[in-house]
Amino acid sequence: MNFNRSLFIFLFILIAKITSAQTGTIRGFVYLKDTGEPMLFTNVILKGTTIGNATDVNGYYSITKIPPGNYTVMIASALGYDTLLLPITIKAGEILNKNLTLVKSNVNLKVVEISAEQEAKQTETSVSVNKIDPIVIKKLPTVGGEPDLAQYLQVLPGVIFTGDQGGQLYIRGGSPIQNKVLLDGMIVYNPFHSIGLFSVFDADIIRNADVYSGGFGAEYGGRISSVMDITTRDGNKKRISGKIAASPFGSKVLVEGPLKKLKENSSSSISFILSAKTSYLPTTSKLLYSYVDPNGLPFSFNDYYGKVSFNSNNGSKLNLFGFNFSDRVSYKALQDMKWDAFGGGGNFLVVPANSPILVNGNFAYSQYKILLKPEVEQAKSSGIKGFNMGIGFTYFMGKNELNYGLEVLGFTTDFDFYNSAGRHLSQNENTTEIGGYVKYKYVSRRKKLLIEPSFRMQYYASLSKASPEPRIGLKWNVTPRIRVKAAGGIYSQNLIAANTDREVVNLFYGFLSGPENLPSEMVTEDGSVRDIKHKLQKANHYIFGMEFDLTRHIDFNVEVYRKDFTQLTNLNRNKLFDESETDKPEMLRRDFIIETGRAQGIDFVLKYDYKRIYIWVVYSLGYVTRWDGVQTYRPHYDRRHNANIVASYTFGKDRNWELDVRWNIGSGFPFRPTSGFYEDLNFQDGITTDYTSTNGDLNYYYDDKQVKELPWYHRMDVNIKRTFQLFEHTKIEAAVGATNVYGRKNVFYFDRIQYKRVDQLPILPTVSISMTF
């Protein structure tokens, strides 16, 4: 058996070597001349042929299996840039390295026939993935005047946002803990601030962000719902540039430039980029938004990010980066909360001289610590710190690609918590995970069929458990304008949240490692008893969709999805006794419980993008349920209907005016009514407490037999901005806008003790100004 396998691998490599010896390869990077930044997802072709490929997130292209001869390399898909034509000669067995530079056009180009986006539709499976860049983010009305990734994510299909204050993002039924966030390959444990309207990322430093809402390939592991992969820019390689911005919500400064300037006919350079954001909302809101709360809005944050990029002539590069994010919330007479995160690391890209393989890797360390101090309860804290590193290889074979790699990560969780019954839960644990993956992308000769099988083996050392995870992505190009796609796979993770899926409002966003002391069995929905054979959380994804190019400028996309969460670990909110009290019911003394769940639905997306008008319409129908061994319940983020309409219009002689509008409407979140109240005695003096004279706290019972929904949510945001060009590289942008422009009173939650409704943020007008230089 081993001999046959070895023979197969040997023959495969031999055939590949013989084939490559009879043909040639051209590869390299595409850069923008004015900044030296790479040009993403643009089409590089050999003129007069169907041979070509698109650049990746690093601007890298590789065209293999080219018959020997004379050709002309052409780039004609970059709107706003001159067409590039470069004569080349391909020799058998030769790898030709050519870095290409695009120059901004002096004229407004009309419709370009060759479209990289159209090419990507036919050569990428693109199932349940949204590609985001700063240009797209800026088409959305902005809270506080500056574009932000957190606000844009809220309009993506399948994404549910639970509130302006302390809200979180839930992606196709997955909770925030089940979403993996990567910044230049480094794990970021909390990407959003407590106010819910801002992320920790500066939108102006983002080169690209891929948001996978399900069905992602084997290169990603350790999460069971979704992935957010963010890549930042290298910084201007030609000159010092930057941006200064201010609004009532906060301000920011961005500076970038060369440490070693990029010269003509060279790709060697050293550049940097620095970003700093701060919020002074607690101060300005007392003056400008006192109608919301006379004490001001209690949210403040600071975000710092820095990066240095070393680029060589052949395109190989090394990036070193670091960040420091912090967040503060102070509700008077209620609670104080703060979290801090910092980290650093690097990533690299290596282009071997005489090989069609591209090598990439990363190494990073990050730490996150959160502390919550309620007024009448004991403090809660959670921390996680650790490293992650990986290396990957990409082998290009014409339109086909082979990817494989290895990832290692280790982290420590430190958790200290008291539940509503006053029971203490704590954990301090070290965890190591090792993952290996392989993915093959096959594109048929006429690009009719794309098959992308992949496989990941994830090993969890602390649990002594290996998880084999096969995955697949498919696309069938029925016609150039109609495509059918599908994806599926098995996913696993170790991390669990320090809160339950039933808590409506929770600023405490902590982490736990998968515990050992789980129940040995659970009761399934059909009443049978199932043995718990492992400690992992696992899920299966099933996705089917279709893409329609209704016209050259109108796209329509529909996807049906289902996620089966076959095993979930949740905090036991009903714990009343210690583990050692074995005479008590197991459900009342366990720290954790085992649950199962299901998320299913359908997403519709309509996009129009042509000249001055951009329109984005999304409707999502979703169902999310959980089974806790006793009953089926709807988690608090189970919104049945959700729709977003985004419109952007550019006008004026020089297109220096822009009007942006967003309207969101969604059905109400589920809640369980109150069935009654009782006095909760805390017995602070133990058994000697005199319960006849001690005053307890007012508490309440849920009505587990009923589930109702809050009123429908809807909100409109409007923004209008004007750009003033001062000099060649200097411009000022002034904007006026409002969030919740018609003052809709959207319910946030209901305070059962005070019998008081708490609403989301009312209308918040804002004025902002920024200068780019």
pLDDT for position 745: 92
pLDDT for position 41: 81
Range among 150-154, 539-543, 625-629, 668-672 with highest mean pLDDT value: 539-543
Q: Minimum mean pLDDT among 100-109, 203-212, 425-434, 723-732: which range?
A: 100-109
Examine the pLDDT at 649 and tell me if it is beyond 50. Answer: yes
Examine the pLDDT at 342 and tell me if it is beyond 60. Answer: yes
CA-based nearest residue to 629, from 528, 504, 539: 528
Task: Determine contact, residues 733/686, Cβ cutoff 8 Å.
Answer: no
pLDDT for position 1: 44
Task: Evaluate the CA torsion angle 159, 162, 168, 172 in order and state its sign.
Answer: negative
Over range 196-213, report the average pLDDT: 91
Over range 339-354, report the average pLDDT: 93
What is the per-residue pLDDT across 238-285, written as a single tens digit (0 to 9) for each?
Answer: 999 999 999 999 999 999 999 999 888 788 999 999 999 999 888 888
What is the per-residue pLDDT across 477-522, written as a single tens digit (0 to 9) for each?
Answer: 999 899 999 999 999 999 988 776 555 566 677 888 887 778 888 8
Examine the pLDDT at 686 and tell me if it is beyond 70. Answer: no
Confidence of residue 750 (pLDDT cuts 50, 70, 90): confident
Task: Determine contact, residues 567/538, Cβ cutoff 8 Å.
Answer: yes
pLDDT for position 588: 62
pLDDT for position 571: 76
Examine the pLDDT at 683 and tell me if it is beyond 70. Answer: no
pLDDT for position 518: 81
pLDDT for position 113: 36
Task: Determine contact, residues 328/367, Cβ cutoff 8 Å.
Answer: no
| Bigger pLDDT: 345 vs 124 | 345
Over range 350-361, report the average pLDDT: 89
pLDDT for position 140: 81
Phi and psi dihedrals of 678, rounded to 5?
Answer: -150, 160
pLDDT for position 98: 87
Confidence of residue 311 (pLDDT cuts 50, 70, 90): very high
Ramachandran region, residue 144 (left: φ > 0; alpha: ψ -120 to 50; beta: rest): left
What is the per-residue pLDDT across 36-58, written as a single tens digit (0 to 9) for each?
Answer: 888 888 888 888 887 888 888 88
Q: How far apart are the first and last CA of the chain?
A: 65
Q: Minimum mean pLDDT among 164-168, 222-226, 388-392, 634-638: which range?
A: 164-168
| Mean per-residue pLDDT over the chain, rounded | 86
Confidence of residue 445 (pLDDT cuts 50, 70, 90): confident
pLDDT for position 124: 86
Q: What percent of the chain has pLDDT over 90?
A: 49
Over range 386-399, report the average pLDDT: 92
Q: Minimum mean pLDDT among 374-388, 468-482, 483-497, 604-618: which range?
A: 374-388
Range among 242-251, 522-531, 567-576 with highest mean pLDDT value: 242-251
CA–CA distances in Å: residue 109 to residues 92, 104, 189: 37, 11, 43
Cβ burial of 762 (10 Å; 0-12, 13-18, 19+) is middle
